[in-house]
Amino acid sequence: EPEVTQTPSHQVTQMGQEVILRCVPISNHLYFYWYRQILGQKVEFLVSFYNNEISEKSEIFDDQFSVERPDGSNFTLKIRSTKLEDSAMYFCASGGRTGFNEQFFGPGTRLTVL
Amino acid sequence: RKEVEQDPGPFNVPEGATVAFNCTYSNSASQSFFWYRQDCRKEPKLLMSVYSSGNEDGRFTAQLNRASQYISLLIRDSKLSDSATYLCVVNAGNQFYFGTGTSLTVIP
């Protein structure tokens, strides 16, 4: 069964450093998403991506964040200058034919900012 | 105002019990609805989509009431493996909104 994969599973970084989180969505999916979940809190939408551009972003997704689909398979989230409050689990998800369809989540990257 | 509201629980039920979870959403333009389950420190996994006519998948039944902006999930004959957090998810525009989740523990 196809699945979304994410690397690394755990990233530790110093405050102010740049991090890139990587995702490989399900191959025939067209919609891609990033979410974050701070420990003990709800899953929060960051950004959706379709047809090589951002289709929607939340208030959390400020200028420190960017997304890219550098090739036909990878989907990345970059945080330019990490803050302590960026520590969270980051989930990538992909969905099929329309933006209303079910999404399938990767296992997440736990980001710890020191 | 929260986009999606759920009773956080916890619900502690014996094996074999029937349990129901409720969820309300604020955006009347919401277009699609889902229940996910999330195990501790794991990713959300799709349980089922929720359709206007209601739908069933084995022991799980989901209902949607658009007029009341209300979604429910019924689990019959609870198993130990049903213990998890159940997330109500609503799509509006290109955003997906998650509830805080309802915690379920099924007790032997």
Q: Coil, helix or strand for B82?
A: helix
Identity of the residue numbered B22: N
Q: What is the mean pLDDT of chain A?
A: 93
What pLDDT, in 10s, does the model give residues B53-72? 889 999 999 999 999 999 99
Q: In this structure, what DSSP letter does residue B67 have? A: T
pLDDT of A97 above 80: no
- Provide the pLDDT for residue A2: 80
Q: What is the mean pLDDT of residues B67-96?
A: 94
Decide if A104 touches B, using CB distance below 8 A. Answer: yes
Decide if A107 touches B, using CB distance below 8 A. Answer: yes
What band does B1 get if pLDDT is binned at 50, 70 and 90?
low
Q: What is the mean pLDDT of residues B69-81?
A: 97
CA distances from B93 to A1, A63, B97 (A): 29, 22, 10
- Provide the pLDDT for residue B85: 96
Query: How much of chain B is in helix, strand and coil states, percent to nearest 5?
Result: 5, 55, 40
What band does B2 get if pLDDT is binned at 50, 70 and 90?
confident
Q: B87 to chain A nearest CA, in Å?
A: 9
pLDDT of A100 above 80: no
Question: Which residues 52-91 of A have a C-beta within 8 angstroms of B?
Answer: 55-56, 58, 89, 91
What band does A99 get if pLDDT is binned at 50, 70 and 90?
low
What band does A37 get if pLDDT is binned at 50, 70 and 90?
very high
Query: Any idea of the CA torsion for A13, A17, A18, A19, to the nearest 10 degrees?
Result: 0
- Report yes or no: B15 and B34 within 8 Å, Cβ to Cβ: no
Identity of the residue numbered B72: S
Decide if B2 touches A, using CB distance below 8 A. Answer: no
User: Pick from A91, A48, A38: which is nearest to A69 by CA?
Assistant: A48
Beta strand A43-50 with A31-37: parallel, antiparallel or unpaired? antiparallel
